[in-house]
Amino acid sequence: MKFSIFLEHQLPRPWGPDSEYNLFQESLDQVELADKLGYDCVWEVEHHFLEEYSHSAQPEVFLAACSQRTKNIRLGHGIIHLTTNHPYRVAEKVASLDLVSNGRVEFGMGEGSSVTELHPFDRRFRDKRGIFLEAVQAIIPGFTQPGVEFKGEFFDLPKRAIIPKPLQKPHPPLWVACSQMDTVRDAGRWGFGALVFTFKNPEYAQAWVHAYYDEFLNNPDPICDYQKNPNVAVVNTFMCAETDEKAQEMASGSTFFEFALNFYNSHGPVEPGSLNLWDEFLEWKKTPRGSRPIKGLVGSPDTIRKTLQEYREIGIDQMILLNQAGKNTHEDICASLELFASEVMPEFHAAEAEHLEWKQKVLNREIVLEKIDTDQFQQASTQTQVK
């Protein structure tokens, strides 16, 4: 199993004049530390207008900075909004980052989830799937072909030379954001890696992995011509400490991630500067639901090891660790990364060859995964069309 870190650039109020500066500098330090400790990838989101929840509007700038402070860690777009970015510019920025990073880019794509982010870019919520599909068809050929043109319902792009070209051939690995069973199935059919940006236990994960490979093997339907990337990566809340109690204390702000995401996707646009989301979160923490222990990979090395073993047996390729959330401190985040890298990560890294052998047998149909009734593992969508 591989291990990555996940950055949303959350910044709950109150803010000082240097709050965003300090956030970005600490995040760069965390990525540099993760590289030295042997973590496999850093995933950086793209969001717009979501105060406190995510101050990561230009991930390619941050990832380019990471590329110059690291040597081995891969740099993941998790994800680029294909709905709010011009396809030719997406191809250009991904290729440019691949060049300055010596070929370390992972290219994650997505649609965006709410009118808060889509409408200012003149994109309608109901059109986002169509825009996404056309954008993929316009972007991918730009990585390899000398000239590209595309005509569709949403894009009318004249033939141009898309330069530069990426260092990785034919292109960086392709991923798509997944938060529902339907999109996990889509990822499998399309042949993209599944970036499962949701919080689920191993039982859910097993159903989603089996559904992914069922579609990948039995119902392939690539959007255009590209190199497939059969992988499933799962985001999980994370904090590693000497004891379970200490980990819960250090991760006390982690549920702000889900709270804030659900807030924006259920309320729609809010008047800028009119809301203190952190205060809302603190009130929610007093409720029975908000006061429950934090789930996921939060605990001592032994506790986390046991949970990871369940994910490993399911066949998860990569665990994406989220501990830059809420007001979790920089010091606690770094200490957690160090303890996990020392006490837990090596044994799972050592089993990577065994995992790859298992996956190849699945892809060769030597191992047939059980078909699981996925109805009980559906999740209600948090996407919204609130205006």
The CB-side HSE value for 294 (13 A sphere, CA atoms) comes to 29
Residue 386 confidence (pLDDT): 39
Which tens digit of pLDDT belongs to each residue from 93-138?
999 999 999 999 999 999 987 899 999 999 999 999 999 999 999 9
Residue that is written with structure tokens 């530390």 in the block: 33
User: Using CA atoms, how far apart are residues 126 and 384, in angstroms rounded to an integer?
Assistant: 10
Q: Which residues, in sequence order, are CB contacts of 148 under 8 Å at separation 6+?
A: 88, 91, 138, 141, 142, 157, 159, 160, 161, 162
- Specify the fold of 2-377: TIM Barrel (3.20.20)
Which tens digit of pLDDT belongs to each residue from 12-70?
999 999 999 999 999 999 999 999 999 999 999 999 999 999 999 999 999 999 999 99
User: Using CA atoms, how far apart are residues 163 and 98, in angstroms rounded to an integer?
Assistant: 12
Specify which residues 193 forms β-bridges with.
175
* Phi, psi (deg, nearest 5) at residue 55: -110, 40
User: Using CA atoms, how far apart are residues 209 and 314, in angstroms rounded to an integer?
Assistant: 7
User: Using CA atoms, how far apart are residues 3 and 40, in angstroms rounded to an integer?
Assistant: 6
Predicted TM-score of the model (pTM)? 0.95
pLDDT at residue 380 greater than cutoff 70: no
Domain boundaries, the chain: 2-377
